[in-house]
Structure 1
Amino acid sequence: MPTLNIVMVEPEIPQNTGNVSRTCAATGAILHLVGPMGFTIDDKKLKRAGLDYWHFLDIRYYDTLADFFSRNTGNFFYFSTKAPRNHTEVTYPDNCYLVFGKETAGLPEELLHQNPDSVVRIPMLSEARSLNLSNAVAIGVYEALRQWDFPELSQEGHPRSFDW
């Protein structure tokens, strides 16, 4: 199964991180949390959003962005509202990293300027400032998985009977 890595740089809202944790757990993506974070990892709001999925989650922690880059190599894709290219215009290889910035400021400008060919955006109305972070992560995750034909993921509905 291909490996997908989700990186949250300095997340500030525990519910967003909890929702992203749940997305990662349900898809097999590895979650990388880069500090400093705006909450503690035992925050009740974080746990509630991830609910009963924590035992499925592969989560890794880093003190700073420099710490993260010193311990990881590969293809990095930086999601930003400032990018000229859509997230669907790139090919996501195995073991790539989808990198998302904090809710209030996004990713550091210097990082975006140093990696112009790897910065992507999710299309939205020009009047909108940004999408919710957990929604943006889900969009990025499922685009990469779509390109890989959803490996190892069930594409069947739950075995419940429905009266349609």
Structure 2
Amino acid sequence: MSDPRMKLVLVTPEIPYNTGAIGRTCVALELELILIRPYGFSLDEKAVRRAGQDYWKHVQLSEYDSWQDFMDDRKPPRDSLYFFEEHGAQSVYAPDYQHDAYLVFGCESKGLPATVLDGMDDRVFHLPMRNPLVRSLNLANVATAVIYQAMRTQLGG
């Protein structure tokens, strides 16, 4: 049975500071952080701890060796998966997020692999940006914005 709380999933994160900052947000909001290997850093790195400050030891952390290992172990319902990419067909403001939502983000340089997104076109969302000069936003900032939007829909506005 699935934990009824939202979870944040980072697939192959590359930048320790982003992972640390996201971990800190997860602690603040009592969300599980799920990391999918390979990482572009060691979880022992000072940068992860610095970004997460002294909160990193409180992160409810789960790790998986691959996306398939995660899927096989967790067996998340399709409707609980929300993928975030800059070119997602729908805005992050569109769905009413499930209470057991898995908010899934890819690595900073490449986003989510095609194998993860295969057949999930209707589950891919983007955070709107008004100025076309900006190609992308920082992963930790996007993850935080998405988490709060998802929580807002769960609380009924």
TM above 0.5, yes or no, is yes
| 1:93 to 2:95 alignment | no
> Counterpart of 2:112?
107
**Offset at residue 2 of structure 1 (A):** 4.9
| 1:132 to 2:138 alignment | yes
Q: Distance in 1 between matches of 2:96 and 2:32?
A: 19
Q: Is the 8 A contact 1:26 1:56 kept in 2?
A: no
Aligned residues: 150
CA shift digits 1:74-122 (9 cap, x unpaired): 3100000111210010110111100000000000124334101100000
Q: Is the 8 A contact 1:87 1:121 kept in 2?
A: yes
> Counterpart of 1:157?
none
User: 3-state SS of the aligned residue for 2:18?
Assistant: helix
In structure 2, stretches of 5+ residues that fail to align are none
- Among 64, 81, 101, which residue is 2:86 paired with? 81
User: 3-state SS of the aligned residue for 1:93?
Assistant: coil
Q: Distance in 1 between matches of 2:22 and 2:92?
A: 18
Q: Distance in 2 between matches of 1:110 and 1:127?
A: 29
| 1:148 to 2:154 alignment | yes
Q: Is the 8 A contact 2:96 2:154 kept in 1?
A: no
Q: Distance in 2 between matches of 1:68 and 1:40?
A: 20
Aligned pairs for 1:39-54 (under 5 A) are: 39-54=41-56
- Among 14, 19, 22, which residue is 1:20 paired with? 22
Q: Is the 8 A contact 2:10 2:104 kept in 1?
A: yes
**TM-score, scaled to structure 1:** 0.86
Q: Distance in 1 between matches of 2:117 and 2:134?
A: 20
Letter in 1 for 2:84: F
**Offset at residue 23 of structure 1 (A):** 0.5
- Among 61, 64, 69, which residue is 1:59 paired with? 61
Q: Distance in 2 between matches of 1:117 and 1:15?
A: 30
In structure 1, stretches of 5+ residues that fail to align are 151-164
What percent identity do the matched residue pairs reach? 37
**Offset at residue 52 of structure 1 (A):** 1.6
* Runs of 4+ with >4 A deviation: none
Higher alpha-carbon Rg? 1
